[in-house]
Amino acid sequence: MRYLILLGLITTVTGCGSSGSTEPTGSQSIIDVTVRDDIGVPVDRIPVIVTMSVNRIDGRTGSNGKAGISVSSPGTYTIRVVPRDGYAGSLEPTVKSVSVETNATALVDFRLSRTGNSDTNPKEHSGGYTGW
């Protein structure tokens, strides 16, 4: 019985050994997408859509604001991020093109603006609200 438990633990630990690396393997290339907000904080759970002609690959950013999308052939890809609630496109576009070489990693960065934020605070005096 102890042998089976030990074998199960070894198998589980071995299976968890993936590094989550975005290094290309075999004949695959990687499009490494990073999404940050207007103050530079990584944004998670942002849908990422990668297309080339009629082919489409969907992904989503993780807690580090990154999504590593594997593509099987070189070429020019269109990458689109879809801002979720609380975020909007900024001065930068939410759609970009990138040229991907065989067995290479292409980097694409996006910046989204947080909605509902303002740098201007109302002025309050003892007499109450006096405006912005």
Domain residues of the chain, as ranges? Answer: 24-112
CB hemisphere CA count around 75 (13 angstroms): 12
Contact residues for 103 (Cβ-Cβ < 8 A; gap 6+)? 24, 27, 28, 29
The CA distance from 95 to 48, in Å, is 10
- Residue ranges in the chain whose pLDDT is less than 70: 1-26, 91, 117-132
State the Rg of the chain over Cα.
22
Structure confidence by residue, pLDDT tens digits, 80-100: 999 998 998 776 789 999 999
- pTM as predicted: 0.68
Query: Of 30, 34, 51, 54, whose CA–CA distance to 42 is shortest?
Result: 34
CATH number for the domain formed by residue range(s) 24-112: 2.60.40.10
Percentage of the chain with pLDDT > 90? 55
3-state secondary structure of 51: strand
Token pair for 11: 């198998």
